[in-house]
Amino acid sequence: MTIGRNSYSLQNRLAVITGGCGQIGSAIADIFLESGARVQVWDRQKTSQLRGDLTFRAVDVTNADAVNQAMADAAGDLGGLDLLVNAAGVTGPTKNVADYTAAEWQATLAVNLTSVFYCSHAALQLMNPARSGRIINIASIAGKDGNPGMAAYSTAKAGVIAFSKALGKELANTHIRVHSIAPALIETNLLHQMSPEMVATNLAKIPMGRAGTPREVAELAAWLASDGCSFSTGAVYDLSGGRATY
């Protein structure tokens, strides 16, 4: 058995990663491949940087019918499904609630929260409850703290945390585990959707004094996906450089 630079074996595990062309999603895809998994990434558009040993599927994760069909097709491509990572996300509007439109609110929740339900629901039709299945949802510290000027994003990520806790408890008597990861600032292009002032404010809340990296998120995801994470489900794992207080 050959695995990559990390110590977690995902040998022959079959994985779908939504938002897989984004920086966090692609970092998770890389580490899963290093660990021996077979990986399909979903996104709206394929990027030129995509590794050749990945398969890609263009999927609108806000469309339930599209997700159901894509998940069935992915299981056919891979030979089954063991791992789902819900990493699709958008920052949404960065302004006061009084200045939102209804469409902006709905669109932000559709990508960040409703898609997690759609994809998890579809995956559960295919995962074998007697096998070591994993659903890993990328939430945010904003879902715990509530970031001003980011109400829609904060609300959606709080929903992801609650959904992960509820689903993890529902499946606790199976071999399927469900977790969420709640990062603080991570060095991705999403930072460019925030004002410099908002980035500085959030960075100042991190005792380590820096943003995290996509690879650091991926390292945690690899452990959560592995058999080493066996006596935990429905948990939220902070990756905040010390910012999280509960």
The residues assigned a catalytic role are 153
CB atoms within 10 A of CB 188: 21
Tell me which H or E stretch contains 106: helix 102-109
- What is the distance of C-alpha 191 from the center of its chain? 17
Q: Which two tokens stand for residue 179?
A: 């977790």
CB 93 within 8 A of CB 152: yes
CB 221 within 8 A of CB 136: yes
CB 126 within 8 A of CB 71: yes
Query: Which amino acid, one-letter code, is at 28?
Result: I
